[in-house]
Amino acid sequence: MLRYLAKRLLMMIPLLLGITLISFVVIHLAPGEPTDLQVELNPEASVELKERLRAQYDLDKPLLVQYGLWLKRLAVLDFGDSFSQDRRPVLEKIAERLPITILINVLSIGLILLVATPIGILSAVRQNSLFDRITTVFVFIGFATPSFWLALLLMDYLGVRLGLFPISGIQSLWHEYYGWGGQLWDRLHHLMLPVFVSAFGGLAGFSRYMRSNMLEVVRQDYILTARAKGLSERVVIYKHALRNALLPVITILGLSVPSLIGGSVIFETIFAIPGMGKLFFDSVMMRDYPVIMGVLVMGAVLTLVGNLIADISYALADPRIRNT
Amino acid sequence: MHLVFIALFLALLIGCQRDDGLPIDADEVTEPAYGDTIIQGSIGEPSTLIPALASDSASSDINGLVYSGLVRYDKNLEIEGELAESWEISDDGLTLTFHLRRGVTWHDGAPFTSADVMFTYELMVDPNTPTAYADRYLQVVAAEAPDPYTFRVHYAEPLASALISWGLAIHPRHLLEGQDVTRSPLARAPIGTGPFRFVQWVSGQRLILEANPDYFEGRPYVNRVIYRIIPDSATMFLELQAGNLDQMGLTPIQYARQTETATFQRRFNKFRYPASSYVYLGYNLRRPLFEDRRVRQALTYAINRQEIVDGVLLGLGQVAHGPYKPGTWPYNANVRQYPYDPQRALELLAEAGWRDTTGDGLLDKDGRTLSFTILTNQGNDQRIKAGEIIQRRLSEIGIDVRLRVIEWASFLKEFVTPGNFDAIIMGWTIPPDPDAFAVWHSSRTRPGELNFIGFENAEVDGLLERGRHTLDQDERKRYYHRFQEILAEEQPYTFLFVPDALPVVARRFRGIEPAPAGIGHNFIRWYVPEGEQRHQW
């Protein structure tokens, strides 16, 4: 097992290098440079000035040299400084925005699981019942509702007209003047609408997925056996069937690990949440190469680690994999 | 039973309706009072609070409150002293001497002297400073600070914009000297001499300033300024309606359709005045199609610009006839105008040889149909809609126009900079100084320069050269008026419109005086009467 693990870890290095090289080349292939956006169309800036700026960012060097410089810094875990005018370290910018994105994603995945699992089970158990039909309609509405539209609707009705929820941001302006209980409530209060909206679309998909898994499992022979043994329907469904139906779900959760840091641009823009999605989008628009690379590397590492964990779990479960 | 609960729940919800605020009579005479906080909405986050490095509007808004320059524009866009008490211009126009205010201090208490001005000048011309504003300071041949309250600069030839170039924010020498300016902590926590002091910046969320009690023109009445960063304009508008913002800029549709309610008018004051910018359709004069002046004139006749103002801006703007702001001193109202006249357009095109000889409804000449592509950038709805209206009007007289919308960075790099386009819809800001050398002089047509349409006119070159090196305003006015006549005749651009700026401010703020410079010029004199103050902080 240790040998297997060491082999997998070693294989990750060239893979990661390949990913970063391709990303580096591709983002530099996109037309436009950070310096263009700073001086272009500025009547006070001359062409010579732009060249000077390019030299300061090393943009005048060949692409592979730039990649080499970037790699050299990465070797000591230095992601470099942002090319945007604030010139702040990339890691600092990411660290500032990562927690809120992870928090919202974790909460919304939690909410999805909490609500969608029972809905999925119930509609599978009572297939074609009124409940099943209603949830089917609900699910399709959920699929079809654009999240930005739902967000604006809720903000207008619950935020402006009724004043029940804060409209945007992640804390109120007077946050620091509250006690710790007040601060906690303030944060939660601000998170409710965003988490609901972000969970809404996923709710529909996940409950469908749960339903079809469950339907598949209850058709299996061992469920028939369990029923034949005279076990109560409760035990059959919740003990024997549910466990097996949940297994593929856990795989899906594993796959959603990289998306934890991705975030969503539209959603973060509307709710004015300073998250990773917005950071990534803005840095792509600004051609802020170090930040783009920083986010991509983190995503790549997370994906690779996610895969590794999945593989290890499979290997633990199935000895045949270890030997291949 | 259930119905009762639902009824109770509904009653509760309705009971939660927000208070619409007290009716306020804005004309009521009140005493200025210190206190309260103004919360402003900003679409973008500032990039850096070191003015030399910043080029985005969010950063300049904040820097404008934290820093001061030697001079500035007053409410009528005339130059007045700020850190400079007075100044002299030598008779030959080559030397500028500033006499600085005494007793001014930086926000950290250090005294402000001419050494700070000297340092700022050196910072701007230092090749290691990544600033986009070096050019005007590179024209200075010598600068000196003979005593702590005098600063003098010499130019090789008179420069009309020399005086206003010293409106640049003065940077603190004692905090920046000998350091890498791009890594200075001042980028996130500025120290200036302006009316507001920096308090806090929470990335992606908000930035807080407080009144500077030692400001040399007196402490501002408003205690605090909070900028909330809200990247979406619809969200910002909801926050305004919910009472969580006091000031923002409205879009035309918000101004015209969504703020006409009595409730809104009771709580907010809307303002409207021409913005300092214009939008144009520029023709690539290097393309054979646009070589003939009559074709360009015909295109302007064929575009109903009033329709664009009405349709795109909902009437909140005006048709543009040239590159200056209507009502300002350089603006020439008597240039040739082109009212919507498709018949006249067809005549001009026929003169230039474009007729529909094949009967397919499209104009043609020498076997080539009259067709071209208009490019514009993504993310600007007004330009895209204007393009659609233009496309329809031109197709009505037999011109085939395609419209392409391209992401900003690619738009610049692939199309504008190399001059790879037929026609583009873009905009320029209109600075108070009329020097348009960079955009219209024939020496500025290299790739990456601003005369990317390739406009070359010897008379215009001469006018622009004289205009920028003349200090006498009446004389300059003559040059720029003639310049506008030539532009109107040549139509290298079809000038489309000057939009209106549409700011809205909560009614409790008094002392706002709309002027040619907008509403922000006397911000330190805005106040909230004592009985109406909302925030303790």
- Could you report the per-residue pLDDT of A287-309, keeping only the tens digit for each? 899 999 999 888 888 888 877 77
A161 CB neighbours in chain B (<8 A) are: 17-18
Nearest-5° angle of CA A209, CA A212, CA A215?
A: 150
In angstroms, the separation between the Cα of residue B261 and the nearest Cα of chain A is 14
B226 CB neighbours in chain A (<8 A) are: 173
Phi (first) and psi of residue A237, to 5 degrees: -70, -55
What are the Cα distances from residue B260, in Å, to A291, B263, B265, B268, B511?
Answer: 44, 8, 7, 11, 23
State whether residue B96 is helix, strand or coil.
Answer: strand
Q: Does A42 contact B48 at a Cβ distance shorter than 8 Å?
A: no
In angstroms, the separation between the Cα of residue A47 and the nearest Cα of chain B is 6
A286 CB neighbours in chain B (<8 A) are: 409
Q: Does B187 contact A86 at a Cβ distance shorter than 8 Å?
A: yes
Domain boundaries, chain B: 51-183, 277-500
Q: Does B136 contact A43 at a Cβ distance shorter than 8 Å?
A: no
A78-88 burial: b if 16+ Cβ within 10 Å, else e: ebbbbbbbbbb
Q: How far apart are CA A134 and CA A143, in angstroms?
A: 14
Q: How far apart are CA A167 and CA B243, in angstroms?
A: 11
Is the Cβ–Cβ distance between B51 and B130 less than 8 Å? no
The predicted structure's pLDDT at residue A43: 65
The pair of structure tokens assigned to B318 is 């005006």
Q: Does A86 contact B47 at a Cβ distance shorter than 8 Å?
A: yes
Q: Does A31 contact B205 at a Cβ distance shorter than 8 Å?
A: no
For residue B12, give the chain A residue with the closest CA. A162
Q: How far apart are CA B146 and CA B345, in angstroms?
A: 63
B230 CB neighbours in chain A (<8 A) are: 168-169, 272
DSSP secondary structure letter of residue A239: I
Strand segments, DSSP code E, in B14-157 are 37-42, 71-73, 79-81, 84-89, 95-100, 140-147, 150-155
Q: How far apart are CA B142 and CA B157, in angstroms?
A: 12
In angstroms, the separation between the Cα of residue B16 and the nearest Cα of chain A is 5
Q: How far apart are CA B282 and CA B487, in angstroms?
A: 12
Q: Does A85 contact B188 at a Cβ distance shorter than 8 Å?
A: no
The predicted structure's pLDDT at residue B8: 41
Q: Does B242 contact A87 at a Cβ distance shorter than 8 Å?
A: no
Residue A120 burial (CB < 10 Å; 0-12/13-18/19+)? buried
In angstroms, the separation between the Cα of residue A13 and the nearest Cα of chain B is 33
If you search the block for the tokens 């913002």, which residue do you land on? B245
The pair of structure tokens assigned to A119 is 């809905």
Is the Cβ–Cβ distance between B428 and B417 less than 8 Å? no
Q: Does B235 contact A271 at a Cβ distance shorter than 8 Å?
A: yes
Picking from B132, B241, B409, the nearest residue to A160 by CB comes out as B241
The pair of structure tokens assigned to B256 is 């015209």
Is the Cβ–Cβ distance between B429 and B60 less than 8 Å? no
* Neighbour tally for A228: CB within 10 Å: 9
Residue B261 burial (CB < 10 Å; 0-12/13-18/19+)? exposed
For residue A169, give the chain B residue with the closest CA. B205
Is the Cβ–Cβ distance between A226 and A167 less than 8 Å? no
CA atoms within 13 A on the CB side of A100: 26
- A65-82 pLDDT, tens per residue? 889 989 888 888 888 888
Q: How far apart are CA B127 and CA A46, in angstroms?
A: 13
Element (H, E) at A13: helix A2-29
Reading across the β-sheet that carries B503-506, which strands appear in turn?
B196-202, B206-211, B224-229, B37-42, B247-249, B503-506, B268-270
Q: Does B232 contact A272 at a Cβ distance shorter than 8 Å?
A: yes
> How many secondary structure helices (H) and strands (E) does chain B include?
17, 22
Report the DSSP beta bridge partners of residue A137.
Answer: none
Cβ-based neighbours of B213, under 8 Å, separated by 6 or more:
B219
Element (H, E) at B209: strand B206-211
B47 CB neighbours in chain A (<8 A) are: 84-86
Q: How far apart are CA A86 and CA A98, in angstroms?
A: 19
Distance of CA B443 to the CA centre of its chain: 25
In angstroms, the separation between the Cα of residue A88 and the nearest Cα of chain B is 8
Q: How far apart are CA B217 and CA B223, in angstroms?
A: 15
Q: Report whether pLDDT(A3) > 90.
A: no
CA-based nearest residue to B448, from A82, A33, A29, A287: A33
State whether residue B179 is helix, strand or coil.
Answer: coil
H-assigned helices in B292-362:
293-302, 305-312, 342-351
Phi (first) and psi of residue B427, to 5 degrees: -135, 155
- A203-240 pLDDT, tens per residue? 888 888 888 888 888 888 888 888 888 888 888 888 78
Picking from A52, A160, A278, the nearest residue to B242 by CB comes out as A160
Cβ-based neighbours of B314, under 8 Å, separated by 6 or more:
B252, B253, B255, B256, B257
The predicted structure's pLDDT at residue A309: 77
Is the Cβ–Cβ distance between A300 and A307 less than 8 Å? no
Q: Does A40 contact B56 at a Cβ distance shorter than 8 Å?
A: no
State whether residue B515 is helix, strand or coil.
Answer: strand
If you search the block for the tokens 């909460």, which residue do you land on? A107
Q: Report whether pLDDT(A53) > 50.
A: yes
Is the Cβ–Cβ distance between B322 and B332 less than 8 Å? yes
Is the Cβ–Cβ distance between B506 and B22 less than 8 Å? no
For residue A161, give the chain B residue with the closest CA. B17
Q: Does B408 contact A37 at a Cβ distance shorter than 8 Å?
A: yes
Picking from A49, A56, A97, the nearest residue to B134 by CB comes out as A49
Cβ-based neighbours of A130, under 8 Å, separated by 6 or more:
none
The predicted structure's pLDDT at residue A254: 67
* Neighbour tally for A138: CB within 10 Å: 14
The predicted structure's pLDDT at residue A117: 86
If you search the block for the tokens 């409790």, which residue do you land on? B508
CATH code for the structural domain at B277-500: 3.10.105.10
Q: Report whether pLDDT(A5) > 50.
A: yes
Amino acid at B364: D
Strands B84-89 and B95-100: antiparallel
For residue A285, give the chain B residue with the closest CA. B409
Q: How far apart are CA A287 and CA B490, in angstroms?
A: 37
For residue B125, give the chain A residue with the closest CA. A49
The predicted structure's pLDDT at residue A221: 87
Q: CATH classification of B51-183, choosing from 3.30.1310.10, 3.30.200.20, 3.90.76.10, 3.20.20.150?
A: 3.90.76.10
B228 CB neighbours in chain A (<8 A) are: 169, 173, 272
Helix axes A289-317, A242-255, angle to 10 degrees: 150
Report the DSSP beta bridge partners of residue B95.
Answer: B154
A152 CB neighbours in chain B (<8 A) are: 234-235, 238
pTM: 0.86
Residues in chain B predicted with pLDDT less than 70, given as ranges, are 1-29, 537
The predicted structure's pLDDT at residue B449: 84
For residue A57, give the chain B residue with the closest CA. B130
Picking from A31, A38, A162, the nearest residue to B413 by CB comes out as A31
Q: Report whether pLDDT(A44) > 80.
A: no
Q: How far apart are CA B8 and CA A189, in angstroms?
A: 23
Q: How far apart are CA B120 and CA B98, in angstroms?
A: 14
For residue A286, give the chain B residue with the closest CA. B409
Radius of gyration for the alpha carbons in chain B, expressed in angstroms and rounded:
26
The predicted structure's pLDDT at residue B273: 93
Cβ-based neighbours of A245, under 8 Å, separated by 6 or more:
A121, A210, A213, A214, A216, A217
Picking from B56, B206, B231, the nearest residue to A173 by CB comes out as B206
For residue A89, give the chain B residue with the closest CA. B183
Q: How far apart are CA A145 and CA A143, in angstroms?
A: 6
Q: How far apart are CA A278 and CA A262, in angstroms?
A: 9
Strands B196-202 and B150-155: unpaired
Phi (first) and psi of residue B143, to 5 degrees: -130, 145
> How many secondary structure helices (H) and strands (E) does chain A include?
16, 0
Q: Residues of chain A with pLDDT > 70: what percent?
A: 89
Q: Does A33 contact B414 at a Cβ distance shorter than 8 Å?
A: no
Q: Does B239 contact A164 at a Cβ distance shorter than 8 Å?
A: no
Q: Does B446 contact A47 at a Cβ distance shorter than 8 Å?
A: yes
For residue A284, give the chain B residue with the closest CA. B409
Picking from A32, A47, A270, the nearest residue to B410 by CB comes out as A32
Q: Report whether pLDDT(A250) > 80.
A: no
Q: How far apart are CA B490 and CA B295, in angstroms?
A: 10
In angstroms, the separation between the Cα of residue B335 and the nearest Cα of chain A is 25
Amino acid at B432: P
The predicted structure's pLDDT at residue A41: 67
- A271-282 pLDDT, tens per residue? 999 998 889 998
How many A-B residue pairs are in contact by the CB < 8 A criterion?
A: 153
The predicted structure's pLDDT at residue B259: 92
Q: How far apart are CA A20 and CA A42, in angstroms?
A: 34
Q: What is the ipTM of this complex?
A: 0.83
Picking from B413, B441, B445 by the largest number of A CB atoms within 10 A of its own CB, the best residue to mutate is B413
Picking from A32, A87, A155, the nearest residue to B412 by CB comes out as A32
In angstroms, the separation between the Cα of residue A42 and the nearest Cα of chain B is 8
Q: Does A46 contact B128 at a Cβ distance shorter than 8 Å?
A: no
Amino acid at A112: I
Question: How many residues appear in chain A?
Answer: 324
Picking from B183, B409, B431, the nearest residue to A285 by CB comes out as B409
Is the Cβ–Cβ distance between B451 and B445 less than 8 Å? yes
In angstroms, the separation between the Cα of residue A38 and the nearest Cα of chain B is 7
- A93-143 pLDDT, tens per residue? 999 888 888 888 889 888 888 888 888 888 888 888 898 898 888 888 888
Report the DSSP beta bridge partners of residue A34.
Answer: none
B242 CB neighbours in chain A (<8 A) are: 159-160, 163, 167
* Neighbour tally for B122: CB within 10 Å: 14
Is the Cβ–Cβ distance between B110 and B170 less than 8 Å? no
Q: Does B239 contact A31 at a Cβ distance shorter than 8 Å?
A: no
Q: How confident is the model at residue A40 (pLDDT cuts 50, 70, 90)?
A: low
Picking from B187, B226, B409, the nearest residue to A31 by CB comes out as B409
B199 CB neighbours in chain A (<8 A) are: none
The predicted structure's pLDDT at residue B99: 97
B446 CB neighbours in chain A (<8 A) are: 47
